């Protein structure tokens, strides 16, 4: 296939709207929450674990112990049935998808939206800062969470974040290292942290280097396009994970010379002990200025960073809205049904809920109409530096001056 020709032809025929197929990702850590809309017997992938994530508009390949080609990559729904990933399309014609100006100083879309759906709480872990990711030629992973309404929250709908402030104030890195050395008992690690209840239609923003154990609430996440991580918790109930999940993104020479302190020093120490963690990271929806109109409104749900941004668009039954945006984005229709730029969309439909919008079409505008009997809710995901007017939280200092 001539990728450039295929992408150019499709963009012309669809006026810059690419319907995408779901991208499923397996994990070995936990059983699935079974809320992704798959048949019940489709979640279990045997030695690869379970399908617990769906990646949206993804140009990022998953890093799993058992490598599966193209796992995590989104495929464009091509009219002739041929196979073409969004990653291939962006690499072949970045000007067409991202716009020439944006593509000149951005390599790729730079963001990764996903849904994660775990049957229990994830293990306590971090994502490396850019300084540490650079050592391995990788990218850091800043991320944000939104807990959509309308689905069961699971058995543990609370997320642990950071460390008790006294551990940081007294510089007790030895406590953290001790837990890592006793790998078989790292389920006790959560005693060093605080939990925050996950509420529907609510969220959090999390820079890299901060320990966290996301709860069982189904979560829509927007993050940098990376899959780096270090699992600080190896024991999950009766399961003991291989210690490679802790050490995979640490330079081997650092691990050999410094042992577990090499992992401890990957923490953003001050941020982990922030006594105002909730105030500095809690991101409830914020209405987009000027977005309220008859029958529709738009809310920021991913903000407080320049790495990415995202909104939820709500249209009441019968309402129509023209969306004009600054750059390329992808959408997920979460609930309700209608049309998006003339394409049918329906929440929870695995064939009609995901679309990529090119930069030129975003700037020209897309007409969205609710044709159903309930509210149409669409999530929009943007990459870095597109929405510089996204709000920022008031900043509380980690320590008193």
Query: What is the number of alpha carbons within 13 Å of residue 190 lying toward its C-beta?
Result: 19
Does residue 184 lie within any of the structural domains?
yes
Q: Per the domain annotation, does 104 fall within a domain? A: yes
Residue 40 in any domain: the answer is: yes
The DSSP secondary-structure symbol of 63 reads: -
Same domain, 153 and 211: yes
Same domain, 372 and 277: no
- The answer to whether residues 258 and 274 belong to one domain is yes
In a domain, 156, yes or no: yes
Four-point Cα dihedral 107, 56, 340, 104, nearest 10: 0
Same structural domain for residues 204 and 175?
yes
Q: Which of 262, 281, 300 is the last residue of a domain?
A: 281
On whether residue 306 sits in a domain, the answer given is yes
Neighbours of 230 (CB within 10 A): 21
Alpha-carbon span 29 to 8, nearest angstrom: 41
CA distances from 120 to 29, 34, 90, 244 (A): 10, 11, 35, 21
Domain span at residue 51? 3-281
Among the listed residues 293, 327, 297, the one whose alpha carbon sits nearest the alpha carbon of residue 309: 327
Do residues 272 and 318 both lie within one domain?
no
The answer as to whether 399 is a domain residue is no
* Same domain membership, residue 147 and residue 53: yes
What is the pLDDT, as a whole number, of residue 401?
44
Which one of 281, 313, 331 terminates a domain?
281
- pLDDT for the residue 400: 56
Q: Which of 281, 300, 321 is the last residue of a domain?
A: 281
pTM surpassing 0.75? yes
Beta partners for 38? none
What does the radius of gyration of the chain's CA atoms come to, in whole angstroms?
A: 21
Cα 337 from Cα 53, distance rounded (Å) = 23
What integer pLDDT is reported at residue 399 of this predicted model? 66
Identify whether residues 277 and 330 lie together within a single domain: no
259 and 141 belong to one structural domain: yes
What CATH number did the domain enclosing 46 receive? Answer: 2.60.120.10
Per-residue pLDDT of the chain (401 residues), as tens digits, is: 899 999 999 999 999 999 999 999 999 888 999 999 999 999 999 999 999 999 999 999 998 888 899 999 999 999 999 999 999 999 999 999 999 999 999 999 999 999 999 999 999 999 999 999 999 999 999 999 999 999 999 999 999 999 999 999 999 999 999 999 999 989 889 999 999 999 999 999 999 999 999 999 999 999 999 999 999 999 987 789 999 999 999 999 999 999 999 999 999 999 999 999 999 999 999 999 999 999 999 999 999 999 999 999 999 999 999 999 999 999 999 999 999 999 999 999 999 999 999 999 999 999 999 999 999 999 999 999 999 999 999 999 876 54
Residue 242 within any structural domain of the chain: yes
Tell me how far apart the alpha carbons of residues 361 and 323 are, in angstroms, rounded to a whole number.
Answer: 10
Helix, strand, coil percentages (3-state) for the chain, rounded to 5, are: 25, 30, 50
Residue 91 lies in a domain: yes
DSSP-assigned letters across all residues of 19-53:
EB--EEEEESSS-B---SS--GGGSB-GGG-EEEE
Both tokens assigned to 208: 């890299």
Collect all residues with Cβ–Cβ distance below 8 Å to 323 and sequence separation of at least 6. Answer: 313, 362, 365, 366, 367, 368, 380
3-state secondary structure 261-289: HHHHCCCCHHHHCCCCHHHHHECCCEECC
Q: Identify the pLDDT of residue 107.
A: 94
Q: pLDDT at position 238, please?
A: 76
């Amino acid at each position: 296939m001539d990728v450039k020709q295929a992408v150019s032809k499709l963009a012309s025929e669809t006026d810059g709207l690419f319907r995408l197929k779901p991208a499923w990702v397996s994990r070995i850590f936990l059983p699935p929450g079974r809320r992704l809309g798959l048949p019940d017997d489709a979640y279990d992938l045997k030695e690869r674990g379970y399908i617990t994530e769906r990646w949206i508009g993804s140009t990022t390949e998953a890093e799993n112990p058992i490598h599966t080609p193209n796992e995590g990559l989104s495929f464009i729904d091509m009219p002739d049935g041929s196979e073409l990933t969004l990653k291939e399309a962006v690499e072949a014609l970045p000007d067409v998808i991202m716009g020439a100006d944006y593509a000149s100083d951005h390599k790729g879309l730079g963001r990764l939206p996903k849904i994660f759906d775990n049957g229990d709480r994830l293990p306590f872990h971090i994502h490396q800062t850019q300084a540490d990711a650079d050592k391995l030629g990788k990218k850091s992973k800043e991320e944000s969470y939104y807990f959509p309404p309308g689905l069961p929250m699971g058995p543990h709908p609370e997320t642990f974040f950071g460390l008790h402030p006294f551990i940081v104030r007294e510089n007790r890195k030895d406590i953290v290292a001790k837990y890592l050395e006793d790998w078989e008992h790292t389920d006790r690690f959560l005693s060093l942290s605080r939990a925050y209840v996950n509420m529907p239609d609510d969220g959090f923003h999390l820079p890299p280097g901060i320990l966290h154990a996301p709860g069982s609430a189904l979560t829509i996440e927007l993050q940098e396009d990376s899959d780096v991580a270090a699992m600080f918790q190896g024991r999950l109930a009766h399961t003991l994970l291989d210690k490679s999940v802790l050490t995979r993104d640490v330079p081997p020479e650092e691990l050999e010379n410094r042992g577990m302190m090499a992992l401890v020093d990957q923490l953003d120490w001050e941020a982990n002990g922030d006594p105002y963690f909730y105030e500095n990271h809690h991101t409830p929806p914020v209405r987009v200025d000027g977005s309220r109109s008859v029958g529709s409104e738009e809310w920021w749900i991913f903000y407080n960073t320049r790495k990415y941004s995202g909104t939820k668009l709500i249209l009441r039954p019968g309402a129509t809205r023209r969306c004009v945006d600054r750059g390329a984005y992808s959408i997920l229709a979460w609930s309700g049904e209608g049309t998006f730029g003339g394409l049918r969309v329906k929440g929870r439909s695995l064939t009609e809920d995901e679309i990529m919008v090119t930069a030129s079409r975003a700037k020209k505008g897309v007409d969205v109409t609710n044709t159903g009997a309930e509210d149409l809710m669409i999530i929009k995901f943007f990459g870095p530096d597109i929405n510089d007017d996204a709000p920022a939280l008031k900043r509380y200092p980690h320590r008193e001056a």
